[in-house]
Structure 1
């Protein structure tokens, strides 16, 4: 884990730095079902293991947006920022889901700080390139460019 203790100036020094990879996280059917309940997305490829056995993926798969939502806890394993008043998730510039995440698979996050620039209001904006890897699968589950803002 990278720890930033000196606030905004130290964040600027992260531009171009690879932050490493998170621990592996297993995607369980219970997690997929809970996400389905929270979002009211109960499509059979996610929540019906019996029917999904004969489907295009040979079993149930995680929702793409479930994978995307896991960026936050996985990213928290990679970067600890101190010395700022507030940090916000400002959005995403690009998201793709090249490979499905089968229930039972393990995923992890790889992150690189693409850019850090000043923004009005005594803050900086970080652009982060995220790749969600699947254990044993060549294509990633998700690639995204995330935008975070941090204020002094």
Structure 2
């Protein structure tokens, strides 16, 4: 089970991409073999997920607005722009309009307004931002004061 919301997002994204492209290797931390490291063959079809917390803004004592930038870098052996355009459209359809994940046992859904798709150095980059409000459980409020009975005596001293 994930210990942070960022790990929950990462786990959901890894599952999403492994479901879309089961033949691809999916990485989040580092890619071990992409440049002729013998004796194992090079990894040609892979997805690298870069998940960057972009902002945490206090909305109230119990609410934080968060933004998480996600860059999914996909590489295929063919390095075909036509194939990259097809894959980009599939990724767009998988995360937009709503990205779903589970955080602490609760299902969450975040509206993703747009996905940027571009090819740089023969690698497809699908980039999008997850913007959402994270809420902490508010502690119970103390009981309100009940009615107060006051008796005033009017005695004068001389």
Do they fold alike, i.e. is TM over 0.5? no
Q: TM-score, normalised by structure 1?
A: 0.31
Q: Which structure carries more helix by proportion?
A: 1
Bigger relative contact order, structure 1 or 2, given CA contacts below 8 A and separation 6+?
1
